[in-house]
Amino acid sequence: MIKVEKLNKTYQVGDKKIPVLKDISLTITDNEFAVVMGESGCGKSTFLSCISGLSEITSGQILLDDLSLHDKKNKAMEEIRLKKFGFIFQDNYMIDNLTVLENVCMSRLQYDPNAYELGRSLLASMHIEQLADKYPSQVSGGEKQRAAIARAMINQPDILFADEPTASLDHRSASDIMEIFKHLNEQGQCILMVTHSAQIAAYGTRIMIMEDGVFYQDEPLGKDRKANVEKIRDMVKDIL
Ligand SMILES: Nc1ncnc2c1ncn2[C@@H]1O[C@H](COP(=O)(O)OP(=O)(O)OP(=O)(O)O)[C@@H](O)[C@H]1O
Ligand SMILES: [Mg+2]
Here the CATH number for the domain that contains residue 16 is: 3.40.50.300
Domain count, the chain: 1
pLDDT at site 72? 64
In a domain, 224, yes or no: yes
Low-confidence ranges of the chain (pLDDT < 70): 72-76
Ligand 1 mutation target, pool 7, 17, 42, 89, most atoms within 8 A of CB = 42
* 2 Cβ contact partners less than 8 Å away, ≥ 6 residues apart: 27, 28, 51, 62, 63, 64, 159, 190
Residue 112 domain-assigned (yes or no): no
For residues 144 and 180, give the distance between their C-alpha atoms in angstroms, rounded to a whole number.
14
Check if the beta carbon of residue 120 is closer than 8 Å to that of residue 101.
yes
pLDDT at residue 151 in the model: 95
Atom of ligand 1 nearest to the CA of 42: 21
- Residue with CA at minimum distance from ligand 1 atom 19: 41
CA of 87 to the centre of ligand 2 (A): 14
Give me ligand 1 centre to Cα 40, in Å: 8
CA proximity to 42, closest of 236, 201, 206: 236
- Whether residue 145 lies inside any domain: the answer is no
Q: How far is the CA of 194 from the centre of ligand 2 (A)?
A: 8
Which residue has its alpha carbon closest to ligand 1 atom 10? 11
In a domain, 50, yes or no: yes
21-74 tens-digit pLDDT: 999 999 999 999 999 999 999 999 999 999 988 889 999 999 988 788 877 666
120 assigned to some structural domain:
no
Distance from C-alpha of 176 to C-alpha of 125, rounded to nearest angstrom:
12
Quote the pLDDT of residue 173.
86
Position 36 in a domain = yes
Query: CA neighbours within 13 Å on the CB side: how many for 55?
Result: 19
Among 46, 164, 197, 214, name the best residue to mutate to test ligand 1's pocket (greatest count of ligand atoms within 8 A of Cβ): 46
pLDDT score at 74:
65
Spacing, Cα 226 to ligand 1 middle (Å): 31
Task: Please report the pLDDT score of residue 168 as a whole number.
Answer: 82
CB 158 within 8 A of CB 84: yes
Ligand 1 center from residue 218 Cα (angstroms): 21
Residue with CA at minimum distance from ligand 1 atom 5: 11
Q: Label the pairing between strands 206-211 and 33-38.
A: parallel
Which ligand has the shortest distance to the CA of 20? 1
Q: What is the pLDDT of residue 9?
A: 98
Distance 197 CA to ligand 1 centre (A): 19
Q: Which residues pair with 9 in a beta bridge?
A: 21
Indicate whether 192 belongs to any domain: yes
Show the ligand 1 pocket: residues with CB < 6 angstroms: 11, 13, 18, 20, 38, 40-46
- Residue 40 resides in a domain: yes
Enumerate residues 6+ apart whose C-beta is below 8 A from 198. 37, 229, 232, 233, 236
- Structural domain range at position 221: 2-94+157-236
